Amino acid sequence: MSTRRLLIFTAALALCIGGFALLFPALLLEGKGVGTLDPAAVAMTRTVGVALLGVAGLNLALSGLPSSGILRRVLLANAAFQLALLPLDPWACATGAFEGLASFLPNSILHVVLATLFLRAWRGTAADPCLGSPRAGVRP
């Protein structure tokens, strides 16, 4: 998959999931097996939805970047984002906040696949020769 397609695909995915979390947080939480819909959980789900919409916007806006140090940083940040999300749902299940494998396994697989795709794209993107400079890309 090309880097451009990866960023557009993940932008669309984040837009769908983020929009769903923002507009239908209770339904999302019920799907995770959350029995009691605490207002704080609903508010945090909406917050996550807005964050995902931000990621979608950034990925879409940056999908046309040529191979560069900036693109490499975007890809690496996306991979780090996926890896940071990876343990959260299993932890929620382990602590009793979510119920059953179905509450986290599909998301966990998705996070691993996306992190792998972002890391492969990062490795395949040309490095910026100015990355060693602390002022790389900064103009006076």
Q: For 43-59, write each residue's pLDDT tens digit.
A: 999 999 999 999 999 99
Whether residue 88 contacts residue 55, with contact meaning beta carbons closer than 8 Å, is answered with no
Read off the pLDDT of residues 79-138 as tens digits, 9 standing for 90 and up: 999 999 999 999 988 998 888 888 889 999 999 999 999 999 999 887 766 554 444 554
pTM of the model: 0.83
Read off the pLDDT of residues 35-45 as tens digits, 9 standing for 90 and up: 788 899 999 99
Confidence check: pLDDT of 66 > 60:
yes
pLDDT at site 126: 75
pLDDT at site 37: 85
Instruction: Tell me which long-range contacts 23-31 makes (C-beta under 8 A, separation of at least 24).
Output: 23/49, 25/49, 31/103
Instruction: Tell me which long-range contacts 118-122 makes (C-beta under 8 A, separation of at least 24).
Output: 118/6, 118/75, 118/76, 118/78, 118/79, 118/82, 119/75, 119/76, 119/79, 121/1, 121/3, 121/6, 121/75, 122/72, 122/75, 122/76, 122/79
